Amino acid sequence: MYPPPPKHGPLAPQERWFFGIFLVVLLGLFGAEVCYNFQPVKLSALLFVLFWIPLLALHEGAHAIVANLLNWHVGQIVIGMGRIVGSFQIGTASVEIRLFPVEGFVKCIPNDLRLPQFKSALIYFAGPGVELLLAVVILLLVGPDRLLTSSDNYLMIVWQSLALASAVGGVLNLVPHSIATHEGKVPNDGMGIIRSFLMPESHYASLIGLTYNDKSGD
């Protein structure tokens, strides 16, 4: 859950074609590597990359859902970074799909001052938390002996890849660090959880009533 990066307009038709061709070539190279001297275990790397995109959507969706449940105003959900590929509206939130599905953010603000630090930390935790929960559920359903053992079974490779991608995404997002942007350093989810408890109540009070379009609410 990050503050927004610089805004960019939608993709031009030429950019859409370029992105489409680039994606086809990239996946083609992955596919060629998998097919060359094929072994079922090689599918793991390709599946890990493919699962990253829906897991990113799940991650950001969890931020938004928990924020909404805690009575915070959700103004913007962004999946990816770079130029806008497509956008639509869900409730109060403007949802943007961007060019590179590497990371995303949810822009939300409090509607009241009831436990704002705790609620902010919980919203930050929701993204990595849902990924870790998914990994644990898969572990329980499949069983640790089967999930953690190398297999040539295609269905098992799918489960192993999804569990690994979920666990890696959840853990990486909980390791506290900040990301440098043109507006300064912004926290990742782990750092955001810590900062939530360090911010005074006056900080949250200053956000009430703003929208995601307000620069002062970044």
CB atoms within 10 A of CB 158: 14
Whether the predicted model's global pTM rises above the 0.75 cut: yes
Lowest-confidence pick of 132-136, 148-152, 153-157, 209-213: 209-213
Q: pLDDT per residue over 65-105, tens digit each?
A: 999 999 999 999 999 887 888 899 998 899 999 888 888 88
Question: Tell me, what's the pLDDT at 128?
Answer: 97
The whole-number average pLDDT for the span 3-16 is 47
Residue 1 or 141, more confident: 141
Distance CA 216, CA 123 (A): 20
Q: Is the pLDDT of residue 14 over 80?
A: no
Cα separation of 99 and 74, whole Å?
22
H helices of the chain, where? 13-35, 43-69, 116-142, 144-147, 154-174, 189-198, 201-207
Question: Quick one: which of 63, 170, 85 has its CA closest to 76?
Answer: 63
User: Structural domain boundaries of the chain?
Assistant: 13-210
Q: Which is higher by pLDDT, 91 or 25?
A: 91
Phi-psi sector, 71: left (phi>0), alpha (psi -120 to 50), beta? left
Place of tokens 């990066």: 5
pLDDT at 181 over 80: no
